[in-house]
Amino acid sequence: MFNVRDRKTGRLFDSWGYLGPKRRKLLEESWAGLFRRDILPGLPVETLSSRFHDSFGRPTKEIYTTMGALIFQQMFDLTDNETVDQLAFNLKWHYALDLPEESDGAKYLCPRTLWTMRKAVSETKMDEVLFADVTGQLAKVFSVAPECQRLDSVHITSNMRRLGRIGIFVRVITRFLVNFRRGRVDLFSSLEPSFSERYLTKKGQGVFAMVKPSESAKTLELVGGDLFLLVRRFADNPAVVEMTSYKLMRRVLSEQCDVDSEAGTVSLKPPREISSDSLQNPSDPDAGYSAHKGQGYQAQIMETFSPAPPDDSEGTKVEGESKPGLRLITYVAVEPAHKSDAHALVPAIDDTKKRGLAPTEVLADSPYGSDDNVVAATVRGVAVISPLQGPKMDRAITLADFSLSSREEILRCPQGASPIKKAQRGKSGHVIFAADACIRCPLRPRCPVRPGKGGYWLRFNDKALRIARRRAHEKSPAFPARYRFRAGIEGTFSALDRRTGVKQLRVRGLEAVRYCVMLKALGLNILRAAVVRTRENGRNPALASKISRVVGEILTFVRHLFTRVMEMTDHLVWQSGGPAPMFLRAA
């Protein structure tokens, strides 16, 4: 049964008055007060209701409490046992989840409940819903301006061991033999005893763990041959072929080896021919490999930022400029490490646009700034500020050195000569310069023009013109003055790692990694929002004190009114023959 308590209707009486004004103020100004006021009532807990029966089965733990505990666990990088302790005894957690009552039912979750609910959230992709809804609520509460954003990726390592080629071969073979021995004893007994001696005994595993560098090639041939024999031997057995461990063996064989089916031989591929999306560890088949960062996953993260207000001639900030506010992570996507950053820009723009947080300007590294991405972003009304990839050709003259008009037409060459003829056909075109001007030009050895009919020709297309304009813009002072704000996202990655432990996770598999990264990014948004709220209150302490005093007076009036109503009710009952009022009984 789905057990949920109404958190959108406030309490008639303040259940936290016993804390005292100073401790209450500390709670209100912390992340706990922010979560209780602005986030807890809007948690999308109804998403999980479809997994539980309306009237059958044991009631779940209160869903708002469970959901908050899952968020706090990732926000503070806690184990299951640490999460249970914090929910049971941490006053900030109690205040954030509005749990004033002292009972095990309200403040205790067993580790199995955490595991079950975490699995349900990750399977239904509710972690993505949580991130989107809470981020949207924070953007609304803090009036976040999403126009300026920056995008980059951070490498993430799951809870798996880094294996070499020998380790991968041995692991997949051992895993298959263990499962094969459990499920198909009759077929397992038909295997040669050497397989059990090499892969199912400590002595055999120890041999593979202590391979000398000079013997690694020979050992690879041995394990590669064993892998090929096992895959070929059971290829015609439908029951064995459907085993997950057999599929992993077949995957490793196709990724790491060249198989000659006719001759029945197998040879190892050179390392440079192995794809980056090959299996890195049988315990985490979703992980990829990046030559730059290694095995694991990566998270594409986009966040808002506030450019520094311009300075006037005396070096002071111009009055009326907006002050930096909440830096909000607006987009998170998790993928294997081998994925290229080039494909991440357009999905990030589309996703934030659906949620009303679309940018008008994105700062990103050069892999995101391909011409195709820039064109696609421009169609969506987003300007991409990113350096171009490729070597900087300082000596060679490129199309960027020619004078271009606003209509992408070539007006003059670097020496000031104008073309004598222009032609445009579709997306391609050319211009012709006079031969006598180009022959005497001192820059001709470095110039892209080539001799042709009627003069010297310069051929180009729309893409070349766009790239030329971007290269010219990169050389201007405006580009580094704007692009320098991209480096700020490295501080976000550092904060995610220091505060939530995002770079080294305790889980394996793309689904579990995505769940952790989503909630950790959400947790950092909450912590940042609490800091901004505290800073805002500090800017106007008189207003904050006045609001607190008015709220206190209202609560006092409500309590006094309620007491008077109860006394009048008791008096009327006494007059009608009922028991005496409370104040007379006390006397």
List per-residue pLDDT tens for the chain, 587 residues long: 778 787 777 777 778 888 888 999 999 999 999 999 999 999 988 888 777 777 777 888 889 999 999 999 999 999 999 999 999 999 999 999 999 888 888 899 999 999 999 999 999 999 999 999 999 999 999 999 999 999 999 999 999 988 888 889 999 999 999 999 888 888 888 888 888 888 888 766 666 766 777 778 888 888 888 899 999 989 888 989 999 999 999 999 999 998 887 777 888 888 888 888 898 889 999 999 988 888 999 999 999 998 865 443 333 343 333 345 789 999 999 999 999 999 999 999 999 999 999 999 999 999 999 999 999 999 999 999 999 886 665 567 777 778 877 777 788 888 888 888 888 776 788 888 888 888 888 888 888 888 888 888 888 887 888 888 888 888 888 999 999 999 999 999 999 999 999 999 999 999 999 999 999 999 999 999 999 988 877 654 445 555 656 666 676 777 777 777 777 776 665 566 666 555 444 44
Determine the Cα–Cα distance for residues 384 and 362; give it in Å rounded to an integer: 5
Predicted local confidence at residue 421, as pLDDT: 86
Predicted local confidence at residue 410, as pLDDT: 82
**Six-digit token string for 180:** 């094969």
**Each residue's pLDDT tens digit, 456-495:** 888 888 788 888 888 888 888 899 999 999 999 999 999 9
In a domain, 239, yes or no: yes
**Six-digit token string for 498:** 């220091």
| pTM reported for the whole predicted model | 0.82
In a domain, 262, yes or no: yes
Q: What single letter denotes the amino acid at residue 288?
A: G
Tell which of 418, 440, 474 closes a domain: 474
| 546 and 462 co-located in one domain | no
| 188 and 266 co-located in one domain | yes
In a domain, 87, yes or no: no
In a domain, 116, yes or no: no
Tell which of 474, 507, 524 closes a domain: 474
| 463 and 560 co-located in one domain | no
Burial (CB count <10 Å: 0-12, 13-18, 19+), residue 84: buried
Nearest to 275 by CA among 296, 252, 300: 252
Query: Are 173 and 199 within 8 A, CB to CB?
Result: yes
In a domain, 438, yes or no: yes
Determine the Cα–Cα distance for residues 25 and 552; give it in Å rounded to an integer: 13
Quote the number of domains for the chain: 3
Beta partners for 456? 433, 451
In a domain, 445, yes or no: yes
| 172 and 269 co-located in one domain | yes
In a domain, 302, yes or no: no
Determine the Cα–Cα distance for residues 340 and 343; give it in Å rounded to an integer: 6
Query: DSSP strand E in 318-369: where?
Result: 329-336, 361-364
Helices and strands per DSSP (H, E), number in the chain: 24, 14
What is the extent of the structural domain holding 198? 165-273
Residues 6+ apart with CB under 8 A from 174: 199, 200, 205
Predicted local confidence at residue 222, as pLDDT: 87
Determine the Cα–Cα distance for residues 229 and 203; give it in Å rounded to an integer: 22
Please say whether the dihedral angle defined by the alpha carbons of residues 404, 408, 410 and 411, taken in this order, is positive or negative: negative
Predicted local confidence at residue 546, as pLDDT: 59
| 175 and 260 co-located in one domain | yes
**Six-digit token string for 54:** 């309306």
Predicted local confidence at residue 448, as pLDDT: 84
Helix (H) or strand (E) holding 72: helix 63-75
Helix (H) or strand (E) holding 493: helix 488-500
Predicted local confidence at residue 578, as pLDDT: 60
In a domain, 206, yes or no: yes
Determine the Cα–Cα distance for residues 87 and 99; give it in Å rounded to an integer: 10
Burial (CB count <10 Å: 0-12, 13-18, 19+), residue 9: exposed
Nearest to 285 by CA among 248, 335, 334, 337: 248
Please say whether the dihedral angle defined by the alpha carbons of residues 203, 209, 215 and 219, taken in this order, is positive or negative: positive
Tell which of 418, 449, 474 closes a domain: 474
